[in-house]
Amino acid sequence: MLNKLFSFWSKDIGVDLGTANTLVYVAGKGIVINEPSIVAVNQKTGKILAIGTQARTMVGRTPGYISVTRPLVNGVVSDFEVTEQMLKYFIDKVHQESFSLLPRPRVVIGVPSGVTEVEKRAVEDATYSAGAREVYLIEEPMAAAIGSHLPVQEAVANVIVDIGGGTTEVAVISMGGVIAWRSLRVAGDKLTDDILRYMRQERNLLIGEATAENLKIHLSSAYFMEEELEGRIRGRDLVSGLPKEVLVTSNEIRGAMQRSVRSIVAAIRSTIEETPPELTADLVNRQIYLAGGGALLRGLPDLIMHETKLSVKIVDDPLTAVVRGCGFVIENIDELRPVLLATQTESFL
> Which residue ranges are tagged as binding site for ATP?
19-21, 165-167, 213-216, 293-296
From the annotation, which residues make up the binding site? 19-21, 165-167, 213-216, 293-296
For residue 58, the 8-state DSSP code is: T
Q: Which helix (H) or strand (E) holds 8?
A: helix 2-9
Burial category of 75 from C-beta neighbours within 10 Å (exposed 0-12, middle 13-18, buried 19 and up): buried
Cβ atoms < 10 Å from Cβ of 277: 6
**Alpha-carbon distance 339 to 142, whole Å?**
8
Identity of residue 284: V
Contact 216, 192 (CB under 8 A): yes
Q: Which residues pair with 162 in a beta bridge?
A: 169, 291
**Alpha-carbon distance 206 to 225, whole Å?**
27
DSSP helix/strand/coil, 136: strand
DSSP helix/strand/coil, 169: strand
